[in-house]
Chains A and B, each alone.
Chain A
Amino acid sequence: DGGITQSPKYLFRKEGQNVTLSCEQNLNHDAMYWYRQDPGQGLRLIYYSQIVNDFQKGDIAEGYSVSREKKESFPLTVTSAQKNPTAFYLCASSRAGGPGAFGSGTRLTVV
């Protein structure tokens, strides 16, 4: 089955720690995206990549980093510089001009 796989489903981070969220897609989509969702709010764009080895900052990129070494993979690192990282993180992918498909999300909690 084609789709987007995010892992882990739940993640706990200690203060000052970097954590990496995984996103893999087998839809052969060129573009991939990371969104953050806070309770009762819409999705806000963190980073996006329209092609391998290239990515751009979204609206709330501070404290996050990404890489796009393979078409299928777009991992997101939440660094210690992100002061309020507790949120639901969603990865998406799309063809050029096509609809976005979303993964099932990773819930990150700071402990």
Chain B
Amino acid sequence: QQQVKQSPQSLIVQKGGISIINCAYENTAFDYFPWYQQFPGKGPALLIAIRPDVSEKKEGRFTISFNKSAKQFSLHIMDSQPGDSATYFCAASMDTGRRALTFGSGTRLQVQP
């Protein structure tokens, strides 16, 4: 019930292309869904987050799409750049009870010039 499944494990995209990473969850009590970006040897940094009362949120080149009925959410990176090459993690948490984030297994994105 606590699990968040993330795919693909790795992704190679050409510069200027769209990167898409998908996540699915089981626990309907989750009500906060952030995405984190992590560079090697560094801690994750919050990229963008969404709550289930909206179906889409856009910040610059990054968009989260959220499908509450399917219990799925995805990250789209438009106009992908070599500097976007990193590992991306989806996560989920609850505002009550255990508030700690439950993470997906990560997607290693490589954007080729």
Residues of A that sit less than 8 Å from B by CB = 4, 6, 31, 33, 35, 40-45, 48, 50, 56, 58-59, 90, 92, 94, 96-97, 99-105, 107
Contact = CB atoms under 8 A, between A and B. Distances in A.
Contacts of A101: 46
22 contacts: A6-B43, A33-B101, A40-B105, A42-B6, A42-B89, A42-B104, A43-B89, A44-B103, A45-B100, A48-B99, A48-B100, A50-B99, A58-B100, A96-B95, A97-B32, A97-B99, A99-B34, A99-B49, A100-B34, A102-B44, A103-B43, A105-B42
B6 to A, nearest CB: 7
Given A41-B105, A99-B49, A90 B100 contact: no
Q: Is the interface of B mostly helix, strand, loop or mixed?
A: loop
Contacts of B41: 105, 107
B46 to A, nearest CB: 5
A104 B42 contact: yes
A101 B36 CA distance: 10
B2 A96 contact: no
A59 B105 contact: no
Interface of B: 2, 6, 32, 34, 36, 41-46, 49, 89, 95, 98-106
B106 A41 contact: yes
A24 B43 CA distance: 15
A90 B44 CA distance: 9
Point out which of B100, B101, B106 has the most chain A C-beta atoms below 10 A from its C-beta.
B100
- 7 tightest Cβ-Cβ pairs between the two chains A and B: A102-B43, A42-B103, A42-B105, A43-B103, A97-B95, A48-B100, A99-B46
Point out which of A4, A6, A56, A102 has the most chain B C-beta atoms below 10 A from its C-beta.
A102
Contacts of A107: 41
A94 B103 contact: no
B42 A33 contact: no
